[in-house]
Structures are given as C-alpha cells and as structure tokens.
Amino acid sequence: MLTRTRLGDQSGEATCQTAKPEKTDGSAIKTISKRAKGSAHPPQIPLTPTSRHTFRFTATVAGTFYITLGDILGACGVFQQDPQGGTFSFTVACIHDAIRIHSLQCWAPAVVGNTVSASFSNINEIQKSTIVSDTVVDSTNAAYIRMTPPPNTDWDKWLLPVVSPNTVVFTIRAPINTIIDLNLSMQQWSNPDDDGLLLVPVTTGLAGGGPPAVSAIYYLALDGPTAAHNILKPIGLPTTF
C-alpha cells in the first residue's frame, strides 16, 4: 500500500494520506472491447452483378400489347453465343436472369382523343389489377400515365423469366408514336456459358440481313422480337431489326 506524507498546518502536526488502489476488475478492458465492436467487418459484396436502368421504347403502330417476362428480359439485352461448328444462328441469349420492375410510364402524342392505358395482370381473384388510363383533351398536352407494381404481389418482387418466360406481366394499349419508359433492376448471369440462359429466336435477323454478330449486345423490342410483333422498338440502343 502506497502512503503519502505531507507536512501539517501551522500547528506542526503531520498528516498522512493513503492513495486509492487502481481498479483491477477489468473495466478498462471492457471499455476497449465495447469500442472494438464498432469496427465490425465491412458489408459483404454481392457476387451477382445488379444494375438499374430505364429503357425507352416507341410504338411504331397503335395496338394492344401483352408484355411477357421473356419479352422484358430480351429488351434488357441479348447476345449471340459462340456458333457451334462455325454456324451462326438466329437465336440470341439473354444476358440477365432476374428482373425487378419499378415503374412503367407512357406518353401518348398530343392528338385529341388519343388514349393510353396499362395494367398489370391479375395476381389472383382477391388482388385485382387497376387500369391506369389517360386521354388527350387538347392538342397542347400529351396523355401521361405512370404505373408501379401492386404492393405485396408477385410483380413487386424479383422475377425469374427463365422459369416462366411466357407469363404476361402487364398490358399496354397505346396509339402510334407513344413513348414508353420501363424502369427496372436486373441481375446478370454469373456464368454466360450456363445452359440455363434464356434463348430467344430472332426470326428476321439484323436490319441489314444475316444473323446477329458474335459478342455484340442487342436490345429487343418490348413486345417481342418476332416479325409478328416487334412494334415497341427500343430508342437509342442497337437492336436486331
């Protein structure tokens, strides 16, 4: 025990003061441990590349369009796989395997009477879809609609078009020259050589003739790449038509 002695007051008496021993209960160690908890490991990095983008399309013909999961995946980007035996095919592979839709917007030309509408497909008998519609009433303002996936439904989640590519997601009724914006997130295939890639037939090939070139990225029409469809064409992106 440490004893400290000092001179007393004017009476000449000496006083003694005993120093308090330091704590040995490990409180200092506990404090350091609490601080260490704040320096946890950094968050994990997703192994699957994910991106978000708004794709724009234009309706070259008026009509009613039933957009499937496979149509959307093809509009997000496709490529020509390496030809087997040097033979090029009119079949392209999608570069993504999962999508999540955030919003759909449409602008119909400012022509009086033009009407544009859209609706998600019915999930079940309880969750009915709501049709969003707008009509041009004067020649100065375009008709405009915006639609988001119904909450707590399958359309409000990540979707796997490879599982059911022919499932209709939403329907668009639009006049000619309607502008369509589709905003969604996409997950890219981690292994492009995987046999599970969704393959899409391109019946008419490139606009200049011939099949798509190897390694080139193309973006298909939103309503499908076959000659019977191919009406909602992408804007500002290379396509196979």
Which tokens in the block code for residue 2? Answer: 């440490």
Query: In whole angstroms, how large is the CA radius of gyration of the chain?
Result: 33
Whether the pTM exceeds 0.85: the reply is: no
CA angle, 149 as apex, 184 and 61 as ends, to 5°?
70
Q: Where are the alpha helices (DSSP H) in the chain?
A: 27-37, 69-75
Which tokens in the block code for residue 207? Answer: 């606009």
Q: CA-CA distance, 145 to 116, in Å (whole number)?
A: 7
Q: CA-CA distance, 18 to 174, in Å (whole number)?
A: 92
The predicted pLDDT at position 8 comes to: 47
The predicted pLDDT at position 7 comes to: 47
Which tokens in the block code for residue 135? Answer: 């009509």
The predicted pLDDT at position 146 comes to: 96
The stretches in the chain having pLDDT less than 70 are: 1-39, 46, 81-90, 123-129, 190-198, 200-215, 227-228, 240-241
